Structure 1
Amino acid sequence: MNNVQSAQKELLAEEAEQLLKTLKTRFEKNMDRHKGLEWAKVQEKLEANPDKLWSLDKMELTGGEPDVVGYDKNTGEYIFYDCSPETPKGRRSICYDREALESRKEHKPADSAMDVAESMGIEMLTEQEYRELHKFGKFDAKTSSWVKTPDDIRELGGALFCDYRYGKVFLYHNGAESYYAARGFRGSLRV
């Protein structure tokens, strides 16, 4: 990433204020996701990390509806996941990674999940994180989400995705170069 892009990773004051209002409202509406945590402390951490607030804004703008889902006592970080009911609309119809994107000879998708996540300053959910998300509700009942794929699977050309059907989370595989209108990815961010 070049320095020009890095320099732009800060919101204007009014954008930051609006995002914080949105995040606070979501936080207060979904207390079951973060029992025992206080919004004031989360906001203090966000205000001290404008680059993280910028990333959360990208999550919000692409339809992710980010919310706090945990707190890491070892690192002192709050953990945000995309909590939209379906995989974020602004991050669909993309293949898994750059290698998969470049391998397509025709009908290429606009981008790859790994590249988009990197450009937003977030991480794709792992299978374990995806399953943890479902402790808070039902997600991806009509869509699916790419998840971080182990290197040994990726080296063989595959990639993993998950969805929620029949009351359970399912893990599947696909060629990493595939893409579908109903498949995107969910991200996580530590602040």
Structure 2
Amino acid sequence: MTKGNKKELTLDQREELFEALKTRFEINMNRHEDLEWAKVQAKLEINTEKLWSLHEMERTAGEPDVVGYDKEKDEYIFYDCSAESPKGRRSVCYDWEALESRKKHKPDNNVIDMATDMGIELLTEEQYRALQKLGDFDMKSSSWVQTPANIRKLGGAVFCDYRYGQVFLYHNGADSYYGARGFRGSLRV
């Protein structure tokens, strides 16, 4: 729900989100061994816009979870941890320019605008590789990752997946989209 320019959740949405996040946090302690849920929740309760972004990650089937803590910045780091690329963010091309360049069969949206609207950052290749150290993700799907400017300038974009026990980085035209390719995001709170 958006109130004016501020994005806020209803009390029921907040409670439901906290329950989902807490359950996921407790089930997947290998992702954040030295962290405590109570401290994460306290930080979330004072950052309502970040809470809204986590709700958007959850709503689009990203299954966000804490994957680290930046002591210097006092920020918890969340990534989308769904087994496959989030279902609510698939079949999208890379950015607005790519979307506009399609003459036929345009997808409904693009990765960069969706991530911006959700208030999250698209994972980098490095972050994607770090995620794979916490489990096996995208074994049947693939996820767009941040594309270097020189590749994007030439019309391309990059994505990753996990096959044969390792991460692969590939390229495609930025205007391409597939039912099994979405994107994963990160959020600092």
The two structures share one fold, judged by TM-score above 0.5: yes
The question of 1:120 aligning with 2:118 is answered: yes
Task: Name structure 2 gaps, 5 residues minimum.
Answer: none
Q: Any idea what SS the aligned residue of 1:172 has? A: strand
Note the residue ranges of structure 1 that are not aligned, 5 or more in a row: none
Identity of aligned residues (%): 69
Q: Look up the equivalent residue of 1:155 and give its one-letter code.
A: K
Residue identity opposite 1:68 in structure 2: V
Write out per-residue CA displacement over residues 66-121 of structure 1, whole angstroms, 9 at most, x where no aligned residue: 00000011110000000000000000000000110011111100000111000100
Taking the aligned partners of 2:100 and 2:70, their CA distance within structure 1 comes to 37
CA deviations on 1:109-138 (whole Å, 9 max, x unpaired) are 000011100010000000000000001110
Equivalent runs, 1:100-111 vs 2, <5 Å: 100-111=98-109
> How many Å apart are 1:46 and its aligned residue?
0.3
Matching of residues 19-58 of structure 1 within 5 Å: 19-58=17-56
Matched pairs, number: 188
Task: Select which of 69, 78, 81 maps to 2:79.
Answer: 81
One-letter code of the match for 2:163? R
Alpha-carbon separation, structure 1, partners of 2:100 and 2:130: 32
Give the Cα–Cα distance (whole angstroms) in 2 for the partners of residues 105 and 93 of structure 1.
16
Q: How big is the shift at 1:17?
A: 1.1
Question: Paired residue for 2:135?
Answer: 137
Amino acid of the structure 2 residue aligned with 1:141: M
Alignment partner for residue 184 of structure 1, among 158, 182, 185? 182
Read off the aligned partner of 1:177 and give its amino acid letter. Answer: D
State the TM-score, normalized to the length of structure 2. Answer: 0.97
1:25 to partner: Cα distance: 0.5
Pairing partner for 1:147 from 145, 163, 175: 145
Q: Which runs of 4+ in 1 moved over 3 A?
A: none
TM-score (norm 1): 0.96
**Who is 1:67 aligned against?**
65
SS at match of 1:180: coil
- Matches of 1:53 and 1:174 in 2, distance apart? 33
Q: Which amino acid letter does the alignment assign opposite residue 65 of structure 2?
A: D
**Other structure's SS at 1:145 match:** strand
Q: Which amino acid aligns with 1:69?
A: V
